[in-house]
């Protein structure tokens, strides 16, 4: 078969694909009508998303890798949100931040994004109903927990409805050449994560700290002899060239993000539940709580403490456990926790993140 014949065949397949995609979209319109009639079904349902993407990977026989089809279907779902009702997603801004990048990876191109100045603002916009969902960082493999996110959970009644992880790659962004750089802007944490590269290139005396990597890129765009360390997305948004890619010291640098909402997520069969509890200030208090999880055969995957801001030497413990809050063993364990803690609160049950497909 000649090249022109193969191209015609591709054109024919593309034509059928467009028809099928729009046929799918018409069904989405009907789904939206049913959701509006019932009134209680959210436009974005993490449990349904998990089912759809898992099914697509099961059906895929190649040669395209699973990750390619997942990316296509995420954009299809993003378009579906737009058809049903455009979603508003708040994130820690400005535009071009890693939270922005994570939001786009999760929700695609067809939703409205709302950058906010701080993490508490992301929570507040969701709590007021101004945004449907929020994207917030909760921990980094290099820097540990994000205390602003943990504290916001203590001060609001917002729920976790999904989680995701994203590799964080730092890039040197500028309009000039490397040897012309006089200043480099970024966050203190980013400079710490790129210390080896900065030292090797003798930029120790040229670094200037900013509140966010996106703000750093914005400043670098305003000067011909300034650079920023940030995401490739920030480079595209602010018209900067990527001079060096992946300059972080640890190539496996990953941030875990939480998608927050005013709603909980139904059970999928492979879930995680986040709780926060406060223990009395006495010997063995935390040991007693951990014993409850052990008694009911509950796997504790993460625990982190934050001091109580109103009572000295009293601590809140944030914990992630495998399972859904409707599971019988978790129900019984949480009942026992009420007897062993000052307070216990469920932050949400959600599909367990199992990684991106290859």
pLDDT, position 302: 95
Do 175 and 202 lie in one domain? The reply is yes
Which CATH number is 216's domain given?
Answer: 3.40.190.10
- What CA–CA distance (Å, rounded) separates 248 from 197? 7
Q: Which domain holds residue 321?
A: 271-351
Structural domain includes residue 358: no
User: What pLDDT, on a 0 to 100 scale, did the predictor assign at position 33?
Assistant: 79
**Predicted pLDDT of residue 39:** 65
For 87-143, write each residue's pLDDT tens digit.
899 999 889 999 999 999 999 988 999 999 899 999 999 999 999 999 999 998 887
Give me the pLDDT at residue 41, please: 64
153 within a domain of the structure (yes/no):
yes
321 falls within a domain = yes
Considering the domain boundaries, does residue 357 fall inside one? no
Residue 25 lies in a domain: yes
Across 292-317, b (16+ Cβ under 10 Å) vs e yields: bbeebebeeeebbebebeeeeeeebb
**Which two three-digit tokens encode residue 342?**
């000052």
**Residues 193-218: tens digit of each pLDDT:** 999 999 999 999 999 999 889 899 99
Asked whether residue 164 falls in the same domain as residue 226, the answer is no
Please choose, from the candidates 72, 5, 80, the residue with its C-alpha nearest in 3D space to the C-alpha of residue 35. Answer: 80
Confidence (pLDDT) at 230: 95
Is position 10 within any domain? no
Q: Flag whether 127 is in a domain.
A: yes
The total of structural domains in the chain comes to 4
DSSP string covering 106-122: HH-SSSEEEEESSHHHH
Segments in the chain below pLDDT 70: 39-41, 358
pTM of the shown model: 0.84
Residue 326, domain CATH = 3.30.70.260
**pLDDT value at position 178?**
93
């Amino acid at each position: 078969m000649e090249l022109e014949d193969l191209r015609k065949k591709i054109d024919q397949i593309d034509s059928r694909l467009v028809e099928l995609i729009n046929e799918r979209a018409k069904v989405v319109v009907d789904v939206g009508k049913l959701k509006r009639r019932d009134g209680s079904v959210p436009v974005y349902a993490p449990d349904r998303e998990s089912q759809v993407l898992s099914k697509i990977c099961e059906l895929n026989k190649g040669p395209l890798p699973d990750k390619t089809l997942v990316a296509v279907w995420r954009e299809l779902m993003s378009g579906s949100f737009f058809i049903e009702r455009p979603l508003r997603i708040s994130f820690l801004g400005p535009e071009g931040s890693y939270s922005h990048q994570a939001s786009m990876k999760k929700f695609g191109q067809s939703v409205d994004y709302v950058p906010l100045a701080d993490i508490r603002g992301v929570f507040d916009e969701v709590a007021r109903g101004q945004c449907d969902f929020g994207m917030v960082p909760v921990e980094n493999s290099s820097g540990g927990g994000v205390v602003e996110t943990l504290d916001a959970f203590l001060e609001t009644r917002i729920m976790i409805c999904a989680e995701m992880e994203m590799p964080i790659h730092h890039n040197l962004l500028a309009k000039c050449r490397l040897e012309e750089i006089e200043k480099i802007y970024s966050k203190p944490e980013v400079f710490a994560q790129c210390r080896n590269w900065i030292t090797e290139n003798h930029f120790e005396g040229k670094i200037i700290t900013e509140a966010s990597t996106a703000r750093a890129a914005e400043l670098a765009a305003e000067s011909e002899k300034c650079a920023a360390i940030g995401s490739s997305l920030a480079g595209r948004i602010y018209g900067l060239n990527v001079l060096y890619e992946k300059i972080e010291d640890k190539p496996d640098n990953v941030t875990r993000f939480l998608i927050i909402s005013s709603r909980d997520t139904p059970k999928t069969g492979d879930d995680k539940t986040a709780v926060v509890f406060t223990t009395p200030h006495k010997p063995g208090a935390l040991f007693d709580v951990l014993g409850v999880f052990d008694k009911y055969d509950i796997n504790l995957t993460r625990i982190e403490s934050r001091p109580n801001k109103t009572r000295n030497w009293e601590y809140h413990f944030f914990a992630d456990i495998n399972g859904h809050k409707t599971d019988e063993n978790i129900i019984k364990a949480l009942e026992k926790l009420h007897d062993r803690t000052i307070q216990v609160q469920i932050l949400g049950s959600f599909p367990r993140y199992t990684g991106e497909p290859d």
